[in-house]
């Protein structure tokens, strides 16, 4: 590709609204442009990378026995109503209506569509198992589209679905997909970790998210400093280590605490550590309040609460509800003296002595609170987030935290969708059985941004060889110099004949501009043709390491091929 006519609109300045490096660099390098919040055009340079990643995914999906198809983005609402997700998906789903006022969704995912297709076509065990996949545009009206391709409202996903007749078969499909994901992310040059993820109320351990380790990641991963345990913060189990207190229990005392609404302030005024405060978090479950108690220095884990209550969604109670139910401002809620309200408590609450909590009266808190003596708890359980330093649930070594970007998700659906949509087959004995399904997603466009997050320096992007938009950036320093130009033209042709993808900077620009752009675009190997051409020499420069070497013009082609071969 000749750069003089390439549609690569680079930017000199930092784009104002781009907060993270991948977003900034991809805009500056002219890889993409936004047309509406979270909706992007992949410009030619960006699309080359998307295509490379897609090809790697295709190869590995095919290798794992997958068959590619392409489903529609436009999906009739009836399908979603049958599984209950027309409502459950909530405002995340982009909804449209046709000219007959019939409702449709712009697909955020394809479980409903694939299950209905397979249901209609497969009736016998003889056709099973199989894995179907597609690479396709998805739509999600994200609450906070941001960080460029990392969280878009329209994005490219690879989604695969497996259909099996037995648990062992499902295990095999799951493992085949898991292993394919490891190969895909490794080939894309990513540093990643597969972490245990939340499976919702259904439970089960076969649910992993593939996390790219990056400081800007929106997910917190709890991992063990010693063994291989890693889980999402929302999922990581807390091991309860009993720590009984030998303090003398005191009587309950009500104290005035005007305007004290935070745990920190409450502890300060009472002269106690925050770990002696009982935090009351109020949720609204089917119109009824549920209070969850955690220690002041702990964070309530909504996913654990939601799963315990067997719900698909969980909402915090609003301030109005709190005032009505507890008769006080939020911040003064208490489990003491309430009747008919479900109270859940984290296990650490049970052994608290002389704690402090609200009084269900604005501007008052209690001191000398003893759980059980002063209030009733319906259920004690693991309702809090794990913290750094807490023991690993597998081996007991301290837990550490890191941030991650979720690039892939593998998940056993079992019969959730086959049951809702009637995807059944006849087994050997003629009995009707529901198909066992798995769902496997990769955020293709997000993955590209995740690579940039992990692979860049202050001057620009650094593409791993396997997914670089071009292999070689051919840069004659002065295109008006006949010798440089002629040699560059010849090399350009030769490299192309060898099947090497070359971006040829044939622009009449200053050397400084060309080198700056070259660093920004991050093509793995740069070939600089400058004044040394007169001595029969050209320079090869490796973007990642900054290493450069001079090679004789007469075997420049062989040297380029050799260096390219050795790159990662």
Among 23, 48, 119, 140, binds ligand ATP (CB under 6 A): 140
What 3-state class would DSSP assign to 83? helix
Strands (E), 140-218: 154-164, 192-196, 207-213
Residue number of the CB closest to ligand ATP reads 443
Check residue 459 and give left, alpha or beta (phi > 0: left; psi -120 to 50: alpha): alpha
Alpha carbons 278 and 367: distance in angstroms, whole number: 10
Instruction: Name residues contacting ligand ATP, limited to 437-456 (CB under 6 A).
Output: 441, 443, 445-446
Residue whose CB is less far from ligand ATP, 441 or 522:
441
330 binds ligand ATP (CB under 6 A): no
- Find tokens 């590995």 and name the residue: 60
The listed partner (Mg ion, ligand ATP, none) that binds 408, CB under 5 to 8 Å by sort, is: ligand ATP
- Find tokens 């919040």 and name the residue: 37
Assigned token pair, 495: 């490299």
Convert residues 140-179 into a mask of x (bound to Mg ion by CB under 5 A) and - (unbound): ----------------------------------------
85 binds ligand ATP (CB under 6 A): no
Residue whose CB is less far from ligand ATP, 203 or 566:
203
Convert residues 517-556 into a mask of x (bound to ligand ATP by CB under 6 A) and - (unbound): ----------------------------------------
In angstroms, what is the minimal distance from the CB of 135 to ligand ATP? Answer: 12
Among 25, 27, 345, 407, binds ligand ATP (CB under 6 A): 407
In angstroms, what is the minimal distance from the CB of 196 to Mg ion? Answer: 12
Segment near ligand ATP (CB under 6 A); pick from 306-314, 362-370, 402-410, 488-496: 402-410
In angstroms, what is the minimal distance from the CB of 408 to ligand ATP? Answer: 5
Alpha carbons 52 and 467: distance in angstroms, whole number: 5
State the first-to-last Cα distance of the chain, in angstroms, to the nearest integer: 23
In angstroms, what is the minimal distance from the CB of 65 to ligand ATP? Answer: 20
Instruction: Name residues contacting Mg ion, limited to 386-415 (CB under 5 A).
Output: 409
Please give the DSSP secondary-structure letter assigned to residue 275: G
Residue whose CB is less far from ligand ATP, 23 or 541:
23
The listed partner (ligand ATP, Mg ion, none) that binds 59, CB under 5 to 8 Å by sort, is: none
Residue whose CB is less far from ligand ATP, 142 or 427:
142
Question: Cβ distance 228 to 395 under 8 Å?
Answer: no
The listed partner (Mg ion, ligand ATP, none) that binds 158, CB under 5 to 8 Å by sort, is: none
Alpha carbons 309 and 196: distance in angstroms, whole number: 21
155 binds ligand ATP (CB under 6 A): yes
Q: How far is CA 487 from CA 157, 438, 505, 508, 553, in A?
A: 43, 55, 13, 16, 9
Residue whose CB is less far from ligand ATP, 409 or 543:
409
In angstroms, what is the minimal distance from the CB of 137 to ligand ATP? Answer: 11
152 binds ligand ATP (CB under 6 A): yes
In angstroms, what is the minimal distance from the CB of 59 to ligand ATP? Answer: 19
Question: Cβ distance 159 to 133 under 8 Å?
Answer: yes
The listed partner (ligand ATP, Mg ion, none) that binds 151, CB under 5 to 8 Å by sort, is: ligand ATP
The listed partner (ligand ATP, Mg ion, none) that binds 157, CB under 5 to 8 Å by sort, is: ligand ATP
**Residue 129: cis peptide before it, omega within 30 degrees of 0:** yes
Residue whose CB is less far from Mg ion, 306 or 409:
409
Among 23, 52, 409, 543, binds ligand ATP (CB under 6 A): 409
- What percent of the residues of the chain are helix, what percent strand, and what percent coil, each to the nearest 5? 30, 30, 40
Q: Does an H or E element contain 191, and which? A: none
What 3-state class would DSSP assign to 273? coil
Please give the DSSP secondary-structure letter assigned to residue 531: G
Instruction: Name residues contacting ligand ATP, limited to 157-186 (CB under 6 A).
Output: 157
Query: Which strands sit side by side in the sheet containing 364-369, from one edge to the other?
Result: 253-256, 364-369, 355-358
Assigned token pair, 226: 């010693």
Question: Cβ distance 250 to 353 under 8 Å?
Answer: no
Q: How far is CA 442 from CA 109, 128, 183, 221, in A?
A: 11, 24, 13, 18
In angstroms, what is the minimal distance from the CB of 408 to Mg ion? Answer: 8
Q: Please list, residue by residue across 165-190, b when 16 or more beta carbons sit within 10 angstroms of its beta carbon and e when fewer do.
A: beeebbeebbebbbebbeebbebbbb
Strands 537-542 and 525-529: antiparallel
- Find tokens 């679905």 and name the residue: 161
In angstroms, what is the minimal distance from the CB of 313 to ligand ATP? Answer: 14
- Find tokens 């040394």 and name the residue: 532
Residue whose CB is less far from ligand ATP, 207 or 484:
207
Alpha carbons 5 and 174: distance in angstroms, whole number: 46
In angstroms, what is the minimal distance from the CB of 446 to ligand ATP? Answer: 4
148 binds ligand ATP (CB under 6 A): no
In angstroms, what is the minimal distance from the CB of 156 to ligand ATP? Answer: 8
In angstroms, what is the minimal distance from the CB of 409 to Mg ion? Answer: 4
In angstroms, what is the minimal distance from the CB of 224 to ligand ATP? Answer: 23
196 burial level (CB within 10 Å; 0-12, 13-18, 19+): buried
In angstroms, what is the minimal distance from the CB of 27 to Mg ion? Answer: 26
Which chain residues interact with Mg ion by CB under 5 A? Answer: 409
Residues that bind ligand ATP (CB under 6 A): 109, 140, 142, 151-152, 155, 157, 406-409, 441, 443, 445-446
């Amino acid at each position: 590709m000749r750069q003089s006519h390439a549609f690569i609109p680079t930017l000199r300045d930092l784009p104002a609204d781009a907060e993270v490096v991948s977003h900034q660099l991809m805009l500056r390098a002219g890889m993409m442009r936004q047309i509406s919040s979270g909706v992007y055009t992949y410009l030619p340079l960006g699309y080359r990378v998307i295509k490379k990643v897609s090809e790697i995914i295709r190869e590995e999906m095919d290798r794992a026995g997958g068959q590619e198809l392409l489903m529609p983005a436009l999906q009739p609402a009836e399908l979603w109503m049958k599984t209950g997700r027309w409502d459950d998906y909530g405002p995340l789903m982009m909804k449209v209506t046709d000219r007959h006022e019939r409702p449709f969704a712009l697909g955020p995912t394809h479980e409903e569509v694939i299950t209905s297709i397979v249901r209609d076509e497969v009736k016998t065990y003889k056709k099973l198992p199989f894995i179907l996949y597609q690479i396709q545009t998805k739509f999600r009206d994200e609450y906070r589209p941001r960080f460029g391709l990392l969280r878009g409202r329209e994005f490219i996903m690879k989604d695969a679905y497996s259909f099996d007749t037995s648990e062992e078969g499902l295990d095999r499909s799951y493992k085949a997909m898991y292993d394919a994901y490891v190969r895909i992310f490794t080939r894309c040059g990513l540093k990643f970790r597969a972490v245990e993820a939340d499976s919702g109320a259904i439970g089960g351990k076969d649910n992993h998210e593939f996390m790219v380790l990056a400081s800007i990641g929106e997910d917190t991963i709890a991992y063990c400093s010693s063994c291989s345990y890693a889980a999402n913060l929302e999922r990581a189990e807390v091991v309860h280590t009993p720590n009984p207190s030998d303090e003398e229990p005191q009587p309950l005392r009500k104290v005035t605490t005007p305007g004290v609404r935070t745990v920190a302030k409450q502890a300060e005024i009472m002269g106690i550590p925050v770990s002696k405060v009982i935090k009351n978090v109020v949720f609204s479950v089917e119109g009824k309040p549920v209070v969850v108690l955690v220690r002041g220095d702990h964070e309530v884990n909504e996913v654990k609460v939601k799963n315990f209550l067997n719900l698909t969604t969980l909402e915090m109670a609003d301030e109005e509800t709190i005032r009505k139910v507890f008769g006080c401002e939020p911040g003064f809620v208490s489990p003491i003296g309430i009747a008919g309200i479900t109270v859940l408590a984290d296990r650490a609450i049970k052994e608290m002595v002389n704690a402090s909590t609200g009084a269900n009266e604005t501007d008052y808190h209690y001191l000398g609170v003893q759980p059980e003596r002063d209030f009733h708890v319906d259920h004690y359980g693991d309702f809090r987030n794990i913290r750094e330093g807490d023991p690993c649930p597998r081996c007991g070594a301290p837990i550490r935290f890191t941030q991650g970007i979720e690039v892939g998700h593998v998940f056993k659906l079992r019969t959730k969708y086959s049951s809702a949509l009637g995807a059944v087959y006849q087994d050997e004995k003629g009995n009707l059985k529901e198909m066992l399904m798995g769902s496997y997603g990769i955020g293709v466009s997000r993955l590209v941004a995740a690579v940039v997050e992990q692979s860049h320096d202050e001057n620009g992007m650094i593409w791993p060889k396997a997914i670089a938009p071009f292999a070689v950036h051919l840069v004659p320093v002065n295109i008006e110099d006949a010798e440089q130009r002629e040699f560059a033209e010849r090399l350009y042709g030769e490299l192309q004949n060898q099947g090497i993808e070359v971006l040829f900077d044939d622009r009449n620009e200053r050397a400084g501009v060309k080198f700056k752009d070259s660093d920004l675009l991050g093509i793995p190997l740069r070939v600089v043709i400058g004044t040394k051409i007169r001595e029969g020499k050209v320079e090869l420069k490796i973007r990642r390491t900054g290493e450069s070497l001079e090679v004789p013009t007469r075997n420049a082609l062989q040297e380029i091929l050799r260096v390219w071969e050795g790159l990662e």
